[in-house]
Chains A and B, each alone.
Chain A
């Protein structure tokens, strides 16, 4: 909401200077978003008279002028066709900055003739579009005076942000009222003129009282529509509203001045009376913005016998608005239901100044006054004869009262404001206050404050005017002692996993939660697709963290990265119960490019392998508290992975805690990645929570006797999985064998065809006494037997 300081002062009698007013506005909740004084950038431009004008000796289109800007004659080269002796215009002297292009004027020679500044056009000063020639002021304009001051441009434009609850401040008067309540002046009384009506009011009716409870109107016949008077045009221009014609400008002016939207119809375009009714499917309106909108039964429109002329309360129609030749007008001053306006506006995706006000809720008690003020201005500025008013329907003016205990101010806001001060503030804001010694105050809410309906609102009004800086900072009560831990198990797990991954050399990325259809499909498809995505690339809630990581990997590769180690900790989104979501906390990572760069020690660069992914998965699972030693390796990773170089880690056959491996080459290709890319995902929500068992560890003393190691090599079928053999061996004597580690896999000379050799080192931990040879032999035999169950034979 923009207005100028002088405009504000038409409603507010104040001695306060601009900084005080700006600070006051922000303090009471009308946040100043910007302030600009157009005079500041125009300060070096002065009114000047052209004394002489001679043709330029070297150029047909240029003239050499002598110009007096109050300091004597200066020579200026000028290309404007209207430059001539005697013209009074605006002159920018040496050093001035031309607003439109930032050019600094300096003494220069143009085609060999010295020039000491510039005579300016309106466009060059950003005062309009006119660039046909230099500005021509009247001959009486005072030469030497700063142009902006003389032209009344020294009027700061203030832009405030109005919160959605404050319909009353969508007009300059409401802002003035708030400032007056805050002690920054007095609100001038509003003068509502009486315009005698001749003849009955127009035929207007309300058929849709829900959407438009009141439709007041008058006609004015015999008007002359032309350019607005200078004062009105200047104010509108100052705040960025383009003056159009007097009739249109009057409605805009009153809307900004008083927060009261109006509409003026050219009666020549109407067939029959006007009715506020529901739209009908199939009806269309060509609106003032040049676009056509289809209306329906949920919307309120203003229509005549033949067509819809107005999307009620939002935008008028192109065909029935006031034109240059308009002679008879109908002035509409209606009340549209805020909820209806909001829905219609959202549905049509149409914003307008009128919508902004009606959807906040205009003052329902101001229809008659608004109509009178508008009619008066039309008659005064355009002539013509006004009719009486027609008042169709009734605006919702029921007065609201709130029972208010002034002690609530301290109880809710923590600030003690004297009762008399509270009353004074409320009354200045237009509230009625009826004090009572025995009971709460009865506070009557002004008709323009639709937002106020409970005692907390009253507290809010008092506190905002008193100033939030008056609220004393009060410490929250603190529990005695050291603060207690607050993190949940999930948070602790996430923190440990995140910092473990970072410590292992992976960089944490945060990728979009949404993917393109194609990306989602490449990892099995998503359950949640946005109805209104911001783009096709950000449409489906991710079922996997891989696509986001792969895209990030690709971007890094495109930027020349040779090694990419990225991880993300976030959610995957699936359909859950009761139409809700199932959001699964997940860690994903991608390793791509060079695992080891070429080096003087290591030779050629090395790529990542599936076992790098497995290593990360196990480390991160361990960090997350998963029982890593008990996990079983399975195949059956998703189709995102190379079918022969991937796997899952499970707790029991069904509970998949992680999957990992070499990325499927076709998926890598889809993301534009060359070479081996390995990846993994850990499903944090599938990891069973560790039971809290206090801080005490299980008792332990390192064994006195040294562990013994024995190596075995078994020949097995190639289909036998290493993990199965190791588990079998380890299980051969659960007491003595504390570890079994595979250290060699061999196929080749010395190993019979169709077999592979797996070598395992077992660790035997003696208890009270060392193993006897018989015991060692028995353990070895048990190991061999266990391997035998998998078809393993001891390698000779």
Chain B
């Protein structure tokens, strides 16, 4: 074996045996450094004649390439081993818990109000608001409920002490005063919904002194009870996302509508729960009152400064809390206003559950 071949074999064996990066570096310097043995051999090439170079050059070049490759391979292997060792040392128990972050929620009443706004926007209704502290004119008189009307006794009204001007202020008992404000402040045609807090002096399992209503009002030319029926059917089908919604319309009485109609929706008992949908008269079914409505009384239209021979329309009102209960299955109204984090977590909605028509309004 030639001298160079011996040198190569020795170096490669040394490199393979190097067990640290430092040892490998020392070998590299000894072979390939400025004064390295391989470098020294490479330097001799310059002093050779072409013939000599042709003969001795290739083994020296081969030595350089082999040693360089061996150094690189060994370095990579040592680095990989070092990395493997570090990773092995860094192993942690990934079953340890991660911080889930605080989880917030949107109240069902807010969610349902957003759902209603979305549905009614598609029907061309905008959202109107009004004060919760009202005067008796907007809450009663303009709605054709005079002082002595028995209907005033139907509303258990919260009153404030009379103002010096004699103005009687109260907490609105329904969202209907928003009808009045809308008609007085705007021009028909009108299509609005008005959600908000309302107040009645009542407290038991199904009544709280504060709750939420949503009012609807359409004033236009040629609007009939038929349009009211369609609107309510369409709205309830969209809200419950069911096509088998059956309504039962019953004649009723509200001073501000005429004819007045109460609306029941059919339910089916499923696993002891009342599930909205189906004919209430079918076996196992029943009816739940969900809405009050009717054609806006001519006196109300007049009180708002509109000509009842030109404009007519319908109005409806329903409980937002009640709609939420019917859709999502809560059974105690009082819990809505208790702020119990456990309840809010269970019945609340994620911030990203934004009702959309494309994604479905329910969540």
Query: Which A residues are within 8 Å of any B CB, using their own CB?
Result: 26-29, 31, 163-166, 338-340, 342-343, 345-346, 359-360, 410-415, 454, 456-457, 459-460, 463-464, 468-469, 471-476, 478-479, 483-488, 490-491, 495, 498-514, 528-534, 538, 541, 548-549, 551-553, 555-556, 559, 561, 563-566, 569-571, 573, 578-581, 583, 596, 599-602
> Which residues of A have CB within 8 Å of B348?
502, 507-508
> Which residues of A have CB within 8 Å of B201?
532, 534
> Which residues of A have CB within 8 Å of B146?
339
- Interface core residue of A28, A505, A533, A599 (most chain B CB under 10 Å): A505
Task: Report the bound CA distance from A561 to B344 in whole Å.
Answer: 13
The smallest C-beta distance from A583 to any residue of chain B, in angstroms, reads 6
A579, B106: Cβ atoms under 8 Å? no
Query: Which B residues are within 8 Å of any A CB, using their own CB?
Result: 96-97, 99, 101-107, 109-110, 114, 117, 120-127, 129, 131-133, 135, 146-154, 158-161, 163-165, 167, 169, 171, 191, 197, 199, 201-203, 209-210, 218, 222-227, 229-231, 233-234, 248-253, 258-262, 295, 297-298, 312, 336-342, 344-345, 348-352, 354
Task: Report the bound CA distance from A456 to B223 in whole Å.
Answer: 14
The smallest C-beta distance from B311 to any residue of chain A, in angstroms, reads 12
> Which residues of B have CB within 8 Å of A413?
224-226, 259, 295
Output the nearest chain A residue to B103 by Cβ-Cβ distance: A505
- Interface core residue of B150, B209, B262, B295 (most chain A CB under 10 Å): B150
B224, A474: Cβ atoms under 8 Å? yes
Output the nearest chain B residue to A464 by Cβ-Cβ distance: B251
B150, A510: Cβ atoms under 8 Å? no
> Which residues of A have CB within 8 Å of B229?
414, 468, 471-474
A456, B226: Cβ atoms under 8 Å? no
Output the nearest chain B residue to A532 by Cβ-Cβ distance: B159
Choose among B163, B203, B226 the residue that contacts A415 (Cβ–Cβ < 8 A). B226
B210, A512: Cβ atoms under 8 Å? yes
B340, A559: Cβ atoms under 8 Å? yes
- A–B Cβ pairs within 8 angstroms, 10 of them: A28-B251, A499-B352, A505-B101, A507-B104, A512-B337, A528-B160, A530-B160, A534-B209, A559-B340, A578-B165
> Given A503-B352, A510-B109, do A456 and B295 touch, yes or no (CB 8 Å)?
yes
> Which residues of B have CB within 8 Å of A601?
99
> Which residues of B have CB within 8 Å of A499?
106, 351-352, 354
> Given A415-B226, A456-B295, A579-B163, do A164 and B150 touch, yes or no (CB 8 Å)?
yes
Task: Report the bound CA distance from A501 to B102 in whole Å.
Answer: 11
Name the prevailing secondary structure of the A interface residues. Answer: mixed
Choose among B110, B133, B223 the residue that contacts A573 (Cβ–Cβ < 8 A). B133
Task: Report the bound CA distance from A488 to B126 in whole Å.
Answer: 8
Task: Report the bound CA distance from A217 to B210 in whole Å.
Answer: 48
> Given A468-B250, A495-B114, A533-B158, do A503 and B338 touch, yes or no (CB 8 Å)?
no
> Which residues of A have CB within 8 Å of B295?
412-413, 456
Task: Report the bound CA distance from A636 to B195 in whole Å.
Answer: 35
> Which residues of B have CB within 8 Å of A563?
102
Choose among A27, A346, A528 the residue that contacts B153 (Cβ–Cβ < 8 A). A346
The smallest C-beta distance from A587 to any residue of chain B, in angstroms, reads 12
A502, B105: Cβ atoms under 8 Å? yes
> Given A31-B250, A456-B298, A507-B344, do A474 and B227 touch, yes or no (CB 8 Å)?
yes
Task: Report the bound CA distance from A571 to B149 in whole Å.
Answer: 31
**Which 9 residue pairs are nearest across A and B when measured between Cβ atoms?**
A505-B102, A552-B339, A414-B226, A29-B251, A414-B224, A474-B226, A163-B253, A509-B339, A339-B148
> Which residues of A have CB within 8 Å of B298?
454, 456
Name the prevailing secondary structure of the B interface residues. Answer: mixed
> Given A503-B351, A507-B348, do A457 and B117 touch, yes or no (CB 8 Å)?
no
> Given A474-B226, A579-B165, do A487 and B133 touch, yes or no (CB 8 Å)?
no
> Which residues of B have CB within 8 Å of A26?
248, 250
A508, B106: Cβ atoms under 8 Å? yes
> Given A164-B151, A495-B114, A503-B352, do A476 and B230 touch, yes or no (CB 8 Å)?
yes
- Interface core residue of B262, B298, B351 (most chain A CB under 10 Å): B351
Output the nearest chain B residue to A488 by Cβ-Cβ distance: B127
B102, A565: Cβ atoms under 8 Å? yes
Task: Report the bound CA distance from A485 to B348 in whole Å.
Answer: 26
The smallest C-beta distance from A445 to any residue of chain B, in angstroms, reads 15
Task: Report the bound CA distance from A533 to B199 in whole Å.
Answer: 11
Choose among A498, A511, A559, A573 the residue that contacts B337 (Cβ–Cβ < 8 A). A511
> Given A456-B298, A483-B124, do A504 and B148 touch, yes or no (CB 8 Å)?
no
Choose among B114, B224, B249, B337 the residue that contacts A411 (Cβ–Cβ < 8 A). B224
Task: Report the bound CA distance from A505 to B102 in whole Å.
Answer: 5
B121, A463: Cβ atoms under 8 Å? no
A487, B117: Cβ atoms under 8 Å? yes
Task: Report the bound CA distance from A415 to B154 in whole Å.
Answer: 31
B259, A556: Cβ atoms under 8 Å? no
> Which residues of A have CB within 8 Å of B147?
339, 343
Task: Report the bound CA distance from A504 to B350 in whole Å.
Answer: 11
Task: Report the bound CA distance from A495 to B349 in whole Å.
Answer: 13
> Which residues of A have CB within 8 Å of B260?
163, 460
Choose among B231, B252, B341 the residue that contacts A476 (Cβ–Cβ < 8 A). B231
> Which residues of A have CB within 8 Å of B99?
596, 599, 601-602
Choose among B104, B131, B152, B253 the residue that contacts A503 (Cβ–Cβ < 8 A). B104
> Which residues of B have CB within 8 Å of A578?
165, 167
> Which residues of B have CB within 8 Å of A552?
338-340
B110, A463: Cβ atoms under 8 Å? no
Output the nearest chain A residue to B165 by Cβ-Cβ distance: A579
> Which residues of B have CB within 8 Å of A27?
250-251
The smallest C-beta distance from B240 to any residue of chain A, in angstroms, reads 17
Contacts A534-B203, A552-B338, A601-B99 known; 9 new A-B pairs at CB < 8 A: A31-B252, A471-B249, A475-B227, A476-B123, A487-B126, A495-B114, A508-B110, A510-B339, A551-B339
- Interface core residue of B133, B234, B345 (most chain A CB under 10 Å): B133
B106, A502: Cβ atoms under 8 Å? yes
> Given A346-B153, A456-B297, do A510 and B158 touch, yes or no (CB 8 Å)?
no
B351, A485: Cβ atoms under 8 Å? no
The smallest C-beta distance from B340 to any residue of chain A, in angstroms, reads 7
Task: Report the bound CA distance from A484 to B203 in whole Å.
Answer: 40
Choose among A486, A549, A551 the residue that contacts B125 (Cβ–Cβ < 8 A). A486
Task: Report the bound CA distance from A511 to B146 in whole Å.
Answer: 32
Output the nearest chain B residue to A166 by Cβ-Cβ distance: B253
A473, B103: Cβ atoms under 8 Å? no
> Given A163-B253, A486-B125, A502-B106, do A511 and B226 touch, yes or no (CB 8 Å)?
no
Choose among B105, B227, B230, B352 the residue that contacts A508 (Cβ–Cβ < 8 A). B105
Task: Report the bound CA distance from A263 to B75 in whole Å.
Answer: 116
> Which residues of B have CB within 8 Å of A571?
132, 197
Task: Report the bound CA distance from A551 to B340 in whole Å.
Answer: 11
Task: Report the bound CA distance from A683 to B249 in whole Å.
Answer: 43
Output the nearest chain A residue to B157 by Cβ-Cβ distance: A532
Task: Report the bound CA distance from A476 to B314 in whole Å.
Answer: 11
> Given A29-B251, A499-B106, A509-B344, do A573 and B148 touch, yes or no (CB 8 Å)?
no
Output the nearest chain B residue to A583 by Cβ-Cβ distance: B131
- Interface core residue of A165, A411, A502, A565 (most chain B CB under 10 Å): A502
The smallest C-beta distance from A337 to any residue of chain B, in angstroms, reads 9
B225, A414: Cβ atoms under 8 Å? yes
A468, B251: Cβ atoms under 8 Å? yes
Task: Report the bound CA distance from A29 to B218 in whole Å.
Answer: 24
Task: Report the bound CA distance from A469 to B225 in whole Å.
Answer: 11
> Which residues of A have CB within 8 Å of B121?
483-487
Task: Report the bound CA distance from A571 to B210 in whole Å.
Answer: 13
The smallest C-beta distance from A18 to any residue of chain B, in angstroms, reads 15
A555, B117: Cβ atoms under 8 Å? no
> Which residues of B have CB within 8 Å of A166?
253
B351, A500: Cβ atoms under 8 Å? yes
A530, B104: Cβ atoms under 8 Å? no
A513, B210: Cβ atoms under 8 Å? yes
> Which residues of B have CB within 8 Å of A28?
251
A165, B253: Cβ atoms under 8 Å? yes
> Which residues of B have CB within 8 Å of A415?
225-226
